[in-house]
Structure 1
Amino acid sequence: MTIIRDWTPDKAGVFGQENLVFDHGLHERPMFDDEGLARLLDQYPREQLGVFTMGEDPKAWTTWRKGSAGNLTGEQLLEAAQTGRIWLNLRHTNDYLPEYAALGDEIFAEKQAKVPGLRTFKRDLGMLISSANAQVFYHLDVPLVSLWQLRGQKKVWVYPVADPYVGELDLEKIVLKETAEQFAFDPDWDKGATAYDLTPGKMVTWRQNAPHRIENGPMLNVSLSIEFMTPAALMRANVIYANGVLRRRIGARPRIQNGFGPAALTKLAVARGAKALKLQTPHVRHLPVTFGLDAGQPGVLVEGMSA
């Protein structure tokens, strides 16, 4: 039985190139019930667990704060997500838990069987467990992304890969890791966005580098977030990287080329050379740990921590 229930030739033909919505059956699997999630949180490496909270204004992206889960059990962490305002991010779950590695293999085997010529790599299968009304601020990702809703409801706004939503200079700064993936948002941009209401059994995937933001409904949310690359996606990332180097080193005003034409291949060589020579120094943003979770009241934030 396939995971995605509404593959069509039209969807398969533009997968990875356009915004698409699918129906899936992952939400019916017991690994995502309370017991399965508590077990996941116990088994996932605690030092890799992302714990975050945030404000309520969608423009106030600087209110995104990092916390610590301390020694809370998986059951207590799940209770914190059910009763507080936190976002638990379990990146690369497929690298740490065999059950999720097998799930990732199953998902990508189906995608590659359904989409002619699709080849994927740099696969990151991550779990998101988040509180009622929590949000993720306006941002974009360098790889391709698919978001699978398992429990609860959330709304996702996806914006065009164009000015004013994101310019080529913004893309270069993010790919070169000069800035964070989150950046300033204008609520008027919602007029140009495509909004998706995700319920259990829905998956949405969007164009590479498309800015997006997320707001949870008034309940616990559980989602599967998958990032991956294809040869075309990796080429695009290298072209943007090379453009940034050329702009900074020689004052060029380059443009993005899609595909594998001569200009793109030349920029691929530029990007590889710049990385080998370490011409660009990433400015990695490390958020300080500013809160913890109370073992007695897991939904309560303990302020004033530092790390």
Structure 2
Amino acid sequence: MTTADPIVTWPKDVGDRFGRETLVLPHNLHQRQMFSDQGLIDLLDTYPREKLGVFTMGHDPVDWQSWQVGQAGDMGGKDLLAAVEAGRIWLNLRAVNQHLPAYDGLCEAIFADKEAHVSGLKTMKRDLGVLISSPNAQVFYHLDSPLVSLWQIRGTKHVRVYPPKAPFARPEQIEAVVLRETDEQIPFDPAWDKEAQEITLEPGMMVTWPQNAPHRIVNGPMVNVSLSVEFMTPAALLRANVIYANGVLRRRFQMEPEIQSGLDPRALGKFALARAFKAAGLQKAHEHRLVPSFDLRDHVPGTHPGRPG
């Protein structure tokens, strides 16, 4: 298989549906040797350790505050995989395409395939992440500022996607994420599940959903490996700037703005406003650095210096 081979089986009407609705499509990335056990060990051994996200979480889908950050020290890739298999761990390797040439090539191939099959699609701000997570682990209800596609490589994931509107995501909550006032998590009501689109992702399946659509994820009873691909299009970047401008107008000028879609003159005006607000420094992003609360080496015997194996 070469990077020129088709990656996704795209429907003929994908150009009309992409970015506007939730799409579940087959892909062939799970067949690549880079996602074998040894491939993952090599990835974990070469990815910059200071960039590795190590997390654990509780079982209650409402208790997003149980999401905790940890550290892995100098654990090798083999021990990291063992900790994932044995624990309740979520490893997030963000922007792998910026650090490892093989994944940069994979990222280029993914977007070349997208742009070749989705008429008129132009992408930017590309981010390819690798997620390696434990059996039954979960990601709490949240939303993202960019467009996202989730590619299942190993294991199964149960994904629920909710409409990007109130009550599932109120305008001020979307604004808070875009303005980086808060992390991506927002309050969740289990009653909303009846309005969610439910998808069970298996190896060789990819899902993408509309921009800012809230979603939550629960792993099946096995180790999971997935790709999280974030990106912008001109329309998505316009929407993000409209939301940014709305957030500043709401917070600084006590206005109640609405989100405009497409090339609406008001949207273009808010795009210019957002650029002006950013240049003026009216809205400062907040840093949300969680202090590590656990050491992953404690979960694998013999991997913590000075502790018995």
Partner of 1:122: 125
Q: Does 1:223 align with 2:226?
A: yes
Deviation of residue 301 (structure 1)? 10
In the alignment, what sits opposite 1:2?
Answer: 6
> Contact (CA 8 Å) 2:87, 2:299: kept in 1 or not?
no
Flag structure 2 segments of 5+ consecutive residues without an equivalent. none
Alignment partner, residue 212 of structure 2: 209
**Distance change in 2, residues 1:209/1:30 (3 Å):** same
Corresponding residue to 2:147 among 144, 147, 150: 144
Pairing partner for 1:87 from 87, 90, 98: 90
The alpha carbon displacement at 1:261 in A equals 2.0
Matches of 1:299 and 1:193 in 2, distance apart? 44
1:105 to 101, 108, 119: 108
- Identify if the C-alpha distance between structure 1 residues 81 and 242 changes in structure 2 by more than 3 Å, giving closer, same or farther: same
Q: How much does 1:12 deviate? A: 3.1
Please give the alpha-carbon distance, in whole angstroms, between the structure 2 residues aligned to 1:301 and 1:70: 9
5+ unaligned residues in a row in structure 1: which ranges?
A: 303-307
Q: What is the SS of the residue equivalent to 1:128?
A: strand
CA distance 1:36–1:50, shift in 2 (3 Å): same
Structure 1: which amino acid aligns with 2:117? K
Paired with 1:271 and 1:235, the residues of 2 have a C-alpha distance of: 10
* Greater alpha carbon shift after TM alignment, 131-140 vs 249-258: 249-258
Matched, 1:189 2:192: yes
Q: CA deviation at 1:284?
A: 2.0
Structure-2 change in CA distance of 1:301 and 1:278 (3 Å): farther
Matched, 1:30 2:33: yes
Question: What pairs with 1:266-285 in structure 2 (closer than 5 Å)?
Answer: 266-285=269-288
Kept in 1, the 8 Å contact 2:97–2:107? The answer is yes
Residue 161 of structure 1, aligned match among 160, 164, 183: 164
Q: How far apart are the structure 2 equivalents of 1:90 and 1:187?
A: 29
Cα distance in 2, alignment partners of residues 288 and 63 from structure 1: 13
Structure 2 residue identity aligned to 1:170: Q
Contact 1:80/1:300 (8 A) holds in 2 = no
DSSP-derived class of the 1:4 partner: coil
Q: Give the C-alpha shift of residue 295 in structure 1.
A: 6.6
Alignment-derived partner of residue 69 in structure 1: 72
After superposition, the CA RMSD in angstroms is 1.6
Indicate conservation of the 8 Å contact 2:21/2:209, yes or no: yes
Letter in 1 for 2:224: N
* SS of residue matched to 1:88: strand
**Is the partner of 2:13 in helix, strand or coil?**
helix
Q: Find out whether 1:260 has 2:267 as its counterpart.
A: no
- Partner amino acid, structure 2, of 1:28: Q
CA distance in 1, matches of 2:268, 2:256: 18
1:243-262 per-residue CA deviation (whole Å, 9 max, x = no partner) reads 11111222221100011221
Change (3 A) 1:283 1:150: same
Q: Cα gap change, 1:208/1:108 in structure 2, threshold over 3 Å: closer, same or farther?
A: same
CA contact (8 A) 2:298 2:304 kept: no
User: Is residue 23 of structure 2 the alignment partner of residue 43 of structure 1?
Assistant: no
Distance change >3 Å, CA 229–CA 70, structure 1 → 2: same
Between 1:225-234 and 1:242-251, the stretch displaced more is 242-251
Q: Percent identity?
A: 59
- Summarize the Cα distance change of 1:294–1:89 in structure 2 as closer, same or farther, 3 Å threshold: same
Write the letter of the residue equivalent to 2:122. R
Structure 2 residue aligned with 1:305: none
Q: Secondary structure at the match of 2:173?
A: helix
**Deviation (angstroms), 1:298:** 6.0
Q: Give the number of equivalent residue pairs.
A: 301
Deviation at 1:300, TM superposition (A): 9.9
C-alpha distance in structure 2 between counterparts of 1:217 and 1:189, whole Å: 21
Aligned-partner residue type, residue 80 of structure 1: A
> Matches of 1:185 and 1:251 in 2, distance apart?
26
SS in structure 1 opposite 2:293?
A: strand
Bigger mean CA deviation after superposition, 77-86 or 58-67: 77-86
TM, length-normalised to structure 1: 0.95
Seen in structure 2, the aligned counterparts of structure 1 residues 101 and 76 have a Cα distance that, compared at 3 Å, is same
**Mapped contact 1:246–1:254 kept (Cα < 8 A):** yes
Q: How much does 1:10 deviate?
A: 1.4
CA contact (8 A) 1:2 1:110 kept: yes
